[in-house]
Amino acid sequence: MGTAGAESVQESGFQLPAPELREIVDAPALPSLSFSPQRDKILFLKRSSLLPLVELARPEEKLASAKIDVKCNGKSRMPFFTGIGIHRLLPDDSLGPEKEVHGYPDGAKINFVSWSPDGKRIAFSVRVDEEDNVSSCKLRVWIADAETGEAKPLFESPDICLNAVFGSFVWVNNSTLLIFTIPLSRRDPPKKTMVPLGPKIQSNEQKNIIISRMTDNLLKDEYDESLFDYYTTAQLVLGSLDGTAKDFGTPAVYTTVEPSPDQKYVLITSIHRPYSYKVPCARFSQKVQVWTTDGKLVRELCDLPPAEDIPVCYNSVREGMRSISWRADKPSTLYWYVIVFDMVEAQDRGDANVEVSPRDIIYTQPAEPAEGEKPEILHKLDLRFRSVSWCDDSLALVNETWYKTSQTRTWLVCPGSKDVAPRVLFDRVFENVYSDPGSPMMTRTSTGTNVIAKIKKENDEQIYILLNGRGFTPEGNIPFLDLFDINTGSKERIWESNREKYFETAVALVFGQGEEDINLNQLKILTSKESKTEITQYHILSWPLKKSSQITNFPHPYPTLASLQKEMIKYQRKDGVPLTATLYLPPGYDQSKDGPLPCLFWAYPEDYKSKDAAGQVRGSPNEFSGMTPTSSLIFLARRFAVLAGPSIPIIGEGDKLPNDRFVEQLVSSAEAAVEEVVRRGVADPSRIAVGGHSYGAFMTAHLLAHAPHLFCCGIARSGSYNKTLTPFGFQTEFRTLWEATNVYTEMSPITHANKIKKPILIIHGEVDDKVGLFPMQAERFFDALKGHGALSRLVLLPFEHHVYAARENVMHVIWETDRWLQKYCLSNTSDGKCGA
């Protein structure tokens, strides 16, 4: 095994890894697929896997947790498409030749691709960066003909541009879009006063209890407020295909717009002053209104105050109307859960710590109710409302969950009849994945909404729905489709994935739009199919013969690893908990000839409330070995064995909480995994490295401190190392620092820095602003390590947040990781020797 690509550490600037690693990082990304509403065409949305660093370096404002690209007035760092291909789905379930959408400028960055309801046109935004033309950096709306692919700007005027901070556009009907635009009256951004007018003051003299996890980028002063207004204020515009534009309402900070299924109304949400300096913009004062699609205000549903006092506890929510939306099965009927003021309010006032029954109430009401007409109660819930899937007046499925008990419950309700009592379909512990019955498959209506598909069988008057399940089993995931009788609860398995070689999943129904029930013998399903070494391809599966027709032929993205070896392995922790991991070995590896390999152990701990749930198998041995540009699997190309995703369950049964025995269970899980790969003879016990990202980096630091006999070095990417900096909770820990001081201290790797003697590489995004994961975490941990003479290295990646996105940075991360592994794992130099 060579050391090419692991150049001298003294070299400055960005480095490139060895060619065999570089080739994998630069592997082309698979296109995203988008079906037309009529399911007769498919878009192939082409993209690059990584952004150039210049994209991350664009000017950015961070205001109330909104990250804004000030040049294009949209979300910063938006991934974009580089091209659109149109394919017709032919009667024999094959794809016709590709037609490229054309007419937009070369090098354009494409976002917000959206079909018109009739499937005849495609709307999207275009951004072209020209340094000498500031207006070209803005986002403009384009329209393409779905038959010819010819595209042109919706508006002739280059001055009508998107304000895409919170929204973009929606189709109101086949010929009109409602568009978030930058107000034409907007001038230059506000300028900050160089000399402050006074100190920054925050006060809690009222002794309110205001608890929040550490959030960065909140508004701090009046300048921030004015800057927030400047970039987020939008003018809604009705844009017609003939190029005309008509203002809709007045400028405001709009966040969402949702047309009703019958295209007569629009549900509009906006936020407004007074702004809060204590919470992000998602918790600002919020107004929800109903308008007609021609721009007349119908009524205001609610105007909620800032949500500054939501308890830091799972399942706690803001008070007031929440999740307001349209019923997908009705022309213009609203639904929401919980309401305040003169109607029944949130029974627990949003506080999950309060024991009440019922806890949530779901309401429905027409967009324009008759005078004096009150909202109707659809259902009362004892847990926290999660979602509702609509079908018709005889069927809707309501889901509720509760984190503390891991309970999830699905109710069958009859929205059109108060005489039919709701009944429970499924009531289970969501940690018990083997009990997961699946989710209902949806079909598209003629109004463009998605409702639960009803299935009919020949000579059978019963009504069925299709449950699409991930199929967790002790042998791995075996996805399935069950025909479910909603009256009796009986199931018939009509399809499941191949068990021997392939991993298949049901993606979506391929069926014409309409409200008619689907005959089982006419069923068509879009499926994906892959194997350990064959990349995902899409197929059309047709009943009654269940004929499968492949419609894509994507090439293998990394042919040098096409013959890698993959195995799902099972073993036990010393306390009897069954564990699993996926073991990858390089192409051509022969244990009898090649012997033990250097090994990279890459993991992420998970919390559980029971040993049974922790020991359940998740994943499939037949899934394709896909790799992101920062994947640990890349190092198979350097002849490393990779143990990916070994189970690291942290269990708290009964009244015990998982983190009370975190270190003990972490070490025990790692020991079991290492012993298993050593027992198999595939891993050299003196050359096993440990690594992870985020909570996996936190894990890495702990294992080097508490299990130095297992690993020769570590790679910690974007981790948190001092839990006392997030004193109101972290991950699934809901106790505060003052309630569980010992837990916070023991779980902070920085308090164990004196125990870390093995080489550790710390990598972090220089502008990471994820809660509890600011760059200071890495910097202070590195300082602590240096203070004890630990062999360590800190790399801060310019312009990167929590997930690395720039090609230059990702290449450098792989170079740094490869250098570390070559020097401290493969060669096992300095203090990197296991057991030292």
Return the minimum-mean-pLDDT range out of 11-15, 549-553, 709-713. 11-15
601: confidence class by pLDDT, cuts 50, 70, 90: very high
Is the per-residue pLDDT at 510 higher than 70?
Answer: yes
pLDDT at residue 717, rounded to an integer: 98
DSSP secondary structure string, 703-738? HHHH-TTT-SEEEEES----GGGSTT-BTTB-S-TT
Only one residue has tokens 């690395």, namely 804
pLDDT at residue 343, rounded to an integer: 38
CB atoms closer than 10 angstroms to residue 500 = 6
110: confidence class by pLDDT, cuts 50, 70, 90: very high
Q: Tens of pLDDT along 360-389?
A: 999 999 999 999 999 999 999 999 999 999
Residues 415 and 364: beta-carbon distance below 8 Å: yes
Q: For residues 775 and 766, give the distance between their C-alpha atoms in angstroms, rounded to a whole number.
A: 6
pLDDT at residue 348, rounded to an integer: 66
Cβ neighbours of residue 289 under 8 Å, at least 6 residues apart? 267, 268, 270, 297, 298, 299, 300, 301
Residues 362 and 336: beta-carbon distance below 8 Å: yes
Q: For residues 651 and 647, give the distance between their C-alpha atoms in angstroms, rounded to a whole number.
A: 12
Give the pTM: 0.92
Q: For residues 358 and 380, give the distance between their C-alpha atoms in angstroms, rounded to a whole number.
A: 6
Q: For residues 409 and 423, give the distance between their C-alpha atoms in angstroms, rounded to a whole number.
A: 10
Higher local confidence (pLDDT), 405 or 339: 405
Give the active site residues.
694, 768, 802
Q: Tens of pLDDT along 336-356?
A: 987 433 333 445 667 777 788
196: confidence class by pLDDT, cuts 50, 70, 90: confident
Q: State how far the alpha carbon of 779 is from the alpha carbons of 564, 629, 763, in Å.
A: 37, 25, 10
Query: Averaged over 739-754, what is the pLDDT?
Result: 96
Q: Tens of pLDDT along 257-287?
A: 999 999 999 999 999 999 999 999 999 999 9
Bridge partners, 337 (sequence order): 322, 362
pLDDT at residue 183, rounded to an integer: 98
pLDDT at residue 212, rounded to an integer: 66
Which is nearest to 763 in space by CA: 821, 726, 816, 712?
Answer: 816
Is the per-residue pLDDT at 149 higher than 60?
Answer: yes
pLDDT at residue 134, rounded to an integer: 52
pLDDT at residue 513, rounded to an integer: 52
pLDDT at residue 203, rounded to an integer: 80
Q: For residues 631 and 291, give the distance between their C-alpha atoms in angstroms, rounded to a whole number.
A: 48
Q: For residues 542 and 521, give the distance between their C-alpha atoms in angstroms, rounded to a whole number.
A: 8
pLDDT at residue 458, rounded to an integer: 87
Is the per-residue pLDDT at 659 higher than 80?
Answer: yes
47: confidence class by pLDDT, cuts 50, 70, 90: very high
Over the chain, what is the mean pLDDT? 92
Which is nearest to 693 in space by CA: 667, 720, 672?
Answer: 720
